[in-house]
Structure 1
Amino acid sequence: MRTSTMRALAPMLLALLAGACASAPPRQSTIQSWVTTGDRSQLMQAQPALAWSETRADGPAVVVDPNQTFQTMVGFGASVTDASAWLIQTRMTASQRDALLHELFGRDGEGLGFSFTRVTVGASDFSRFHYSLADQADPTLAGFSTAPMEAEVFPTIRAALAINPDLKVMASPWSAPGWMKTTNSMIKGQLKPELYGVYATYLTRYIQAARAQGVPTDYLSIQNEPDFEPENYPGMRWGPEGRARFIGQNLGPAFQAAGIQTHILDWDHNWDKPEQPLGVLADPVARPFVSGVAWHCYGGDVSAQGQVRDAHPDKDVFFTECSGGEWAPGFSDSLMWTAKTLIVGSTTQWARGVLMWNLALDESYGPHAGGCGDCRGVVTIDSRTGAVTRNQEYYAFGHASRFVRQGARRVAVTAPEGLQAVAFINPDGSRAVLVVNDAATATAFDLGEGDAAARVSLPPRSLATFTWAALISK
């Protein structure tokens, strides 16, 4: 009798168990987290693991929605300028250099995992002297040479690639060779229209020469800050009509003829003039050759990225330059601004890659030849000893680059007033959520996905990264 009763009840019991499992909160993973505070009492410090709760309490909550997906990430990083490479190659011992590059580009759990970087094609203000790759006035480019970059820049990129083979490299010229310009100088002026074809060959040859040196060029912007003519370092003004003509009639066809797959980016300048890249993308001949738009932080609002992307949803967005400096020396203030504006803001406004300016500068904010005299690197290298100081940008970027893998997808996340957040799903399904608390007091909230939640409290003026595996119910 008992056996027959159990047999009769079995289907009902199985259904009840299945329903309980379907509604039970995920329990197979815990939440790991790391915190950096503005007072420096915690610097990317690991926190005790958090367990999921069965219910989410009423009140403030940061909630991830993995079903709403956005852009795929290339990564985070900083530029290997001439100054950065010179310091790394000549002012550090071999062991110091190896340790720093592994720390910045390594994926070993302790490294920052930088997977995106930028180099200058020829000199910038953060070079020890001004040079191009073809200083001899010759339209055949007989004297073309990447030798000035082969001493320090290329070896640094090759070493970074050996540590992280997935590293993506962007290149940007600050100026065409002086003889190609209206000023006959690398300082100020514009590219002579009759030499557009020669300049397209110049950039094509750079990509080929760099590749022969073991340095790929995944992305190229045709001009750094084309709406600015610096007084004392290389620069070149180039309006949208001229850029569109150059890309559509010269550079794009030159790349096609040479079989070059490098993605062309326009603008590479501030948020305050979205009409400039919109002007280039309005050109029907240039537009097919333009992969995306690159942005800087020195004017305007980050929302300009979204404005241009909304108009051209088939074009990528990259954030490619911002520098910390002694105009904002406070650790807490610049940590908060960088995290909110560049990590959360720029990626929320569609950036696939996010870059700081100099990877490394010395104790005197150099070396440099003109330009910024108080810019700060992601790290500071003491030119006398090789000792490394990790600056606030190191921690703001590390909270993203160490946990958001290349190929991650940004997903939707909601956050209460007073908190900023951005969320990603890595290729292995793990979640990475960065939350910024800019308030002067600690803030408590629920961190949730689906029906699961965990109670969190963030210290004042702090940022945290939370990670967990893809949630699986009991």
Structure 2
Amino acid sequence: MRQYKVYKSTGEKELFVPQSPESWASVPSGAGSVVVTLDDNRSYQQMDGFGASFTDSSAYLMNQVLREEQREEVMRRLFDPQDGIGLSVLRNPMGASDYARTVYSYNDLPAPETDPEMTRFSVAHDEADVIPLTLQALMLNPQLKLFASPWSAPGWMKTGGSMLGGQLKSEYYAAYADYFVKYIQAYAAHGLKVHAVTPQNEALYEPLHYPSMLMLPEAQSDFIKNHLKPAFVKHGMDTKILCYDHNWDRPDYPLTVLEQAGDEVDGVAWHWYGGEASAQTKVYEAVPGKEVHFTEGSGGEWIPPFEQAFSNVMRTGIEILRNYGQSMVLWNMALDEHNGPTVPGFGQSTCRGIVQVNQQTGELTYTLDYYALAHFSKVIRPGAVRIASSSEDEDIRSVAFRNTDGSLAVVLFNDGSVTANVDMNLREEGLLSLKLESKSAVSILISP
């Protein structure tokens, strides 16, 4: 006899609520029902998991502003697979991002000093908040994988002499590769394995009000092929290298890097701030065998009403997974009541964290992104393999996986304007019938 766990969100007042069997087992099926068919004879990518980022701002808020009992609670609810939602991927900035209290790298020097031998490299900044929280997350979830991305090289390596804008000077390609090696070694010394890196966050975006660095595809190919990968090989490192780390609207960039440095590249990292998730499949099919990772997407005040914002994460999350995504990582793990802290001079932030930490009151709030991530992470566990799923109605969006323990994980979202009765089937076997209200989400875990 199959066992079912069902979690449902119907709106702001009902978010990821466990459902008793009586609440859905009696829903009539048949005429008028939408059939969702699962086919585990067709399989696709294997999942690493879901998560967010311990930016400097997030780590500071969670480690220094929250009281100890609050921090223990939120870490458990974020990372514990049993008592929480079991987040299993972190994508942490290497140095300052836009969400940091100061602009810093791991090797800051006053002009005109340089340090190509990396003798003054140090991750001391991260030892205060980022590393302790990452270690605690790993303790709560031993399956955790750590990704890392820089927003900029140290200023002395760049054309403008600053971490704000500019490009990496070609004479410092080797030094920058050593910068990555030192980072991986320093984190290993703290007991943290870096699973994957990208050479540059949002390599085609060069804002001048927070750390950034323009890195054109030809430059990234050269850096990876002739410097970064050889440095990893030299030091016996198996850390994966993902290229691009930017929006869906420029698949030509990763295609260029994969053409020029494909043997040294393990996969592609994507963001959702432009284009469509189908770009992931386009590149995957053009260069088969390369991993597909979604490494940043933030919700925020530009999608103000709750329903639209929650629906966006559910709808887009399903599309990410249906387009070969092996990870789905949102942005800041925590922000404050002003959507910060941000680097000095940033201006008004509109991003939303997974949780909110009010710096004035100390109040901890779980945002809609926490519950949207829960719909995926709680049932789709690391190592799960996606199986085919299809719906008779395009408004009933679906994605399905088989976990390593044999259980089936299914996420459904009703993107339509009316309630639907849904019948879910596997190989001619009726699995479950349920009612799905407009703009509601349901996650289902079915025992073998």
Q: Which amino acid aligns with 2:304?
A: P
Q: 422-431 or 460-469, which moves further after superposition?
A: 460-469
1:32: Cα distance to partner?
2.6
CA contact (8 A) 2:27 2:435 kept: no
Partner of 1:378: 354
1:46: Cα distance to partner?
1.5
1:197: Cα distance to partner?
0.5
User: Structure 2 length normalisation: TM-score?
Assistant: 0.95
Structure 2 residue 447 is matched with structure 1 residue 469: yes
Q: Which amino acid aligns with 1:188?
A: G
Structure 2 residue 414 is matched with structure 1 residue 437: yes
1:76: Cα distance to partner?
0.4
Residue correspondence of structure 1 range 34-183 to structure 2 within 5 A: 34-38=7-11, 40-49=12-21, 59-108=33-82, 110-136=83-109, 137-183=114-160
1:279: Cα distance to partner?
0.2
Q: Which amino acid aligns with 2:14?
A: Q
Aligned length: 438
Q: Which amino acid aligns with 1:123?
A: A
Gap change, CA 1:207 and 1:197, over 3 Å in 2? same
Structure 2 residue 342 is matched with structure 1 residue 364: no
Residue correspondence of structure 1 range 311-326 to structure 2 within 5 A: 311-326=286-301
CA contact (8 A) 1:316 1:352 kept: yes
Q: Secondary structure at the match of 1:139?
A: coil
Identical aligned residues as a percent: 41
Q: Secondary structure at the match of 2:254?
A: helix
Residue correspondence of structure 1 range 198-213 to structure 2 within 5 A: 198-213=175-190
Gap change, CA 1:53 and 1:67, over 3 Å in 2? farther
Partner of 1:20: none
Q: Which amino acid aligns with 2:15?
A: L
Distance 1:56 1:201 in 2: 63
Q: Which amino acid aligns with 2:404?
A: P
CA contact (8 A) 2:243 2:268 kept: yes
Distance 1:84 1:45 in 2: 26
CA contact (8 A) 1:422 1:433 kept: yes
| CA shift digits 1:250-293 (9 cap, x unpaired) | 0100000001110000000000000000000001xx21111100
Partner of 1:194: 171
1:405: Cα distance to partner?
0.8
Q: Which amino acid aligns with 1:324?
A: G
CA contact (8 A) 1:96 1:386 kept: no
Structure 2 residue 208 is matched with structure 1 residue 235: no
| CA shift digits 1:126-175 (9 cap, x unpaired) | 00000011112222222111111111101110010111111000000000
Distance 1:199 1:55 in 2: 60
CA contact (8 A) 1:243 1:280 kept: yes
Structure 2 residue 266 is matched with structure 1 residue 288: no
Structure 2 residue 311 is matched with structure 1 residue 336: yes
Partner of 1:32: 5
| CA shift digits 1:292-336 (9 cap, x unpaired) | 000001111111000000011110000000111111121110111
Q: Which amino acid aligns with 2:426?
A: E
User: Structure 1 length normalisation: TM-score?
Assistant: 0.90
Gap change, CA 1:128 and 1:442, over 3 Å in 2? same
Any stretches of 5+ residues in structure 1 without a counterpart?
A: 1-27
Distance 1:254 1:223 in 2: 17
Structure 2 residue 276 is matched with structure 1 residue 304: no
Partner of 1:21: none
Gap change, CA 1:274 and 1:294, over 3 Å in 2? same
- Cα RMSD (Å) of the superposition? 1.6
Any stretches of 5+ residues in structure 2 without a counterpart?
A: none
Q: Secondary structure at the match of 1:101?
A: helix
Partner of 2:329: 355
1:55: Cα distance to partner?
9.4
Q: Which amino acid aligns with 2:20?
A: P
Which structure has the greater CA radius of gyration? Answer: 1
